[in-house]
Amino acid sequence: MPRTVQTPSEDPATGLRRHLDPDGQVVRPVPEELDETALLEMHRWMVFSRVFDDKMMALQRAGRIGFYGEVRGQEAGAVGCGMALRDDDWVFPALREGIIMLMRGFPLDQYVAANFGNALDVMKGRQMPCHYSARSVHQVSWSSSMATQLLHAAGAAYAAKVKGHDRVFMGFVGDGGTSESDFHAALNLAGVHKLPNVFVVQNNQWAISVPTRLQTGSASFAQKAVAYGFEGVRVDGNDVLAVYSAAKEAADKARAGGGPTLIETVTFRMGGHSSSDDPTRYRDAALLAEWEAKDPIKRYEAWLATEGLLDASGAKEVRNEAAKRINEASKRAEAADWPTPETLFDDVYAEMPPNLAAQRDEMLKANPDWKGPAH
C-alpha cells in the first residue's frame, strides 16, 4: 500500500491537514497502524451513518418520530475520532457524533429506540431524539443548550487526573457553539490544568442559518486554542484519515500527560440543521453542489478502490447490509411499549428514599390502569 508523499509545512491551526485530496489521492502518508481491517471498518461505519440518516429522516417525515438531526456530509468527523479512542475513553458528543456508541458495541435496537423514546430506550423516553448516551459505552448526553458538554468533559478530565487515570475525555461542539461562554470556560480550565481533553469543533460552515464568517473573526477555530495555552489543529473534516490521525495524536498526547488539544474539522452540513430546518431559505444551491463533490464517503471509496480494497460491488454490499440491519432494528424498536408510569421515579437516586417511594406508590394507587400513552 503506497505510503508516500510530501506535504507543505504550515501552521497547524490555520492550515488544513489532509491525507486524501477531494479526488481520493494520497497527499500525506496514511497512518501505518491502520491495517486493512481498520481501513474497511471506517468505511463501513461512515456508510452505516449515512444509511441510518436516510431511515430516520423517512420515519420523521412519516410522523413516526418527532425530530432528527442528520449527520450527512460529516461522517468522517465522528468515525475518524471514534476510531482514534480507546473504548474506555469518554465521549461528550454534540448533535452528530452518536455513531461512536455503535462503534463501541451499543445495541442498535436501543440506539434506534432513543428516537422513539419508548421502553426500549435506556433513557426511558426522557431525552430528546438524537441525544444518545449510555454509561456502558462511556458516552454522555449532549445538551441542546449548546456547548455545555465541553464543561462536563473538562470536569470529568479533571477528576480523572486527580485519580491518576489514563483515560481521555473528548468533547464535541459545532462552530456555533464556540460563541457560547461554556466553550471558553472549558478550554480555559483544560489549559490551566493540562487536562487529558481533546476538544473537537465540527465546523460545518453553518450554525443553523448563521455562516462561519459571522461566527468568528479568527483565522480559524483551531487558532483559539493558543489563547488557552495549548495546541490547535485544523484538519480536512471530509478526510477520515486526516481526522483519525489528528485525533489519535491528540489522544496519545493527552494520555501521556501532555495536556489538551483543540481540533477543528472543516466540513459541511449537507442537509438542514435538523428535520425542522429548511436550508434552501438561507443557503445557495451552488454551495451545496460544491461540497457534495467533496463527499467524505465518495472520497474514501475512491482511495479504497485505488488500493484494491473495495470495488463498486463491495461498496453496494456494505450499503445493503447496513440498510437491512437498520430496517430490522427500526421495526423492533418501534414495536416496543411505552415506559410504564413507575419509571418516572427511577434513576433519581442510587437507592430510592422512602419519601420518593411513597410518592410512586400514591401515583400508582391513584392511576391503577394507566399504562402509558397510546401508540
Q: Taking phi first (over 0 means left), then psi (-120 to 50 degrees means alpha), and beta for anything else, what does residue 317 get?
A: alpha
Is 96 tagged catalytic? no
**Domain coordinates in residue numbering, the chain:** 36-339, 346-375
The catalytically annotated residue of 269, 281, 300, 325 is 269
Supply the pLDDT for residue 11: 87
Supply the pLDDT for residue 370: 73
Is 152 tagged catalytic? no
- With a CB cutoff of 8 Å and minimum separation 6, the contacts of 144 are 128, 131
Task: Please state which architecture CATH assigns to domain 36-339.
Answer: 3-Layer(aba) Sandwich (3.40)
Is 131 tagged catalytic? no
Supply the pLDDT for residue 75: 98
Residue 25 to residue 136: CA distance in whole angstroms: 38
300 near 318, Cβ under 8 Å? no
142 near 101, Cβ under 8 Å? no
pLDDT digits (tens), the chain, 375 positions: 443 333 444 689 999 999 999 999 999 999 999 999 999 999 999 999 999 999 999 999 999 999 999 999 999 999 999 999 999 999 999 999 999 999 999 999 999 999 999 999 999 999 999 999 999 999 999 988 889 999 999 999 999 999 999 999 999 999 999 999 999 999 999 999 999 999 999 999 999 999 999 999 999 999 999 999 999 999 999 999 999 999 999 999 999 999 999 999 999 999 999 999 999 999 999 999 999 999 999 999 999 999 999 999 999 999 999 999 999 999 999 999 999 888 989 999 999 999 999 999 999 998 888 766 654
Report the predicted TM-score, pTM, of the whole model to 2 decimal places. 0.94
Residue 265 to residue 17: CA distance in whole angstroms: 9
For residue 139, list its beta bridge partners. Answer: 91, 134
Residue 197 to residue 200: CA distance in whole angstroms: 10
Identity of residue 131? H
Identity of residue 191? G
The catalytically annotated residue of 3, 61, 282, 375 is 282
The catalytically annotated residue of 244, 273, 299, 300 is 273
